[in-house]
Structure 1
Amino acid sequence: MASTSTQMASDSSPSNLGWTHEVFLSFRGEDTRYNFTDHLYNALVEKRIITFRDDKLKRGEKIAPELLNAIEKSRSSIVVFSKTYAHSTWCLDELAKIMECSRKYGQIVLPIFYHVDPSDVRKQTGRFGEAFTRYEENWKNKVQSWKEALTEASNISGWHVDDG
Structure 2
Amino acid sequence: MNNWTIPPWKYHVFLSFRGEDTRKGFTDHLQAALKQRGIITFLDDKLNRGEVISDQLLQAIDESLVSLVVLSEGYASSSWCLDELQRILESKKSLAREVIPIFYKIDPSDVRHQRGSFAHALQKHGKSFAKNKEKVQRWKDALEEVANIAGYDSTDQ
Is 2:67 the counterpart of 1:70? Answer: no
CA distance in 2: counterparts of 1:36 and 1:163, whole angstroms: 15
In the TM superposition, residue 124 of structure 1 has moved relative to its aligned partner by 0.7
Is 2:107 the counterpart of 1:114? Answer: no
Is 2:134 the counterpart of 1:141? Answer: yes
Q: 1:150 — aligned with what? A: 143
CA RMSD for the aligned pairs?
Answer: 2.3
- Paired residues in the alignment total 152
The two structures have a TM-score, normalised by structure 1, of 0.85
- Specify every segment of 5 or more residues in structure 2 that has no aligned partner in the other structure, as ranges: none
**1:100 aligned to 82, 86, 90, which one?**
90
Q: 1:37 — aligned with what? A: 27
The two structures have a TM-score, normalised by structure 2, of 0.89
Query: What one-letter code is carried by the residue in structure 2 that aligns with 1:10?
Result: W
Q: 1:63 to 1:132 in 2, by over 3 A?
A: closer
Contact 1:27 1:80 in 2 (8 A): yes
Runs of 4+ in structure 1 off by over 6 angstroms are none
CA distance in 2: counterparts of 1:44 and 1:148, whole angstroms: 29
**1:83 aligned to 51, 66, 73, which one?**
73
Q: Deviations over 1:10-42 (max 9, x none)?
A: 23x32xxx1010100000001000100000000
In the TM superposition, residue 163 of structure 1 has moved relative to its aligned partner by 8.3
- Specify every segment of 5 or more residues in structure 1 that has no aligned partner in the other structure, as ranges: 1-5
CA distance in 2: counterparts of 1:56 and 1:45, whole angstroms: 17
Q: Deviations over 1:42-82 (max 9, x none)?
A: 00000101100012559xxx851111110011111000000
SS at match of 1:35: helix
